Amino acid sequence: MEQDRKRKRSSRATPREREVLQLVLLGCTNKDIAQRLGISDYTARDHVSSLLKKNEVKNRAQLMALHVPGLRKKKTPAPLHLTDCIAERGAHNKTD
């Protein structure tokens, strides 16, 4: 399901935006992107802004989290409850 959403987001990006996205994922600044692609700083900024809007995120970190495997939130197990610790300690005392 997440893959489908990712595919939809990336399919809306223009070829140039996909190039810019790859540079953003490498950690490039707008100035770096502009120099590498031979465009103005303002054009690089506009491409990044467009990517943020199309991906419905507020910043580069969120954009990266959507596109870099392993950066997405993983489900964390429910926190232990105090009674879990007491039960665990009791099990250890019985085997001692």
Give one DSSP letter per residue of 59-86, joined into a string: SHHHHHHHHSTT-SPPPPPPPPPHHHHH
pLDDT tens by residue, 15-69: 999 999 999 999 999 999 999 999 999 999 999 999 999 999 999 999 999 998 8
Where in the chain are the domains?
Answer: 2-95
The CATH number that domain 2-95 falls under is 1.10.10.10
Tens-place pLDDT, residues 64-84? 999 988 755 656 666 666 666
90 vs 69, higher pLDDT: 69
Q: Does residue 4 carry a pLDDT above 60?
A: no
The pLDDT of residue 83 = 67
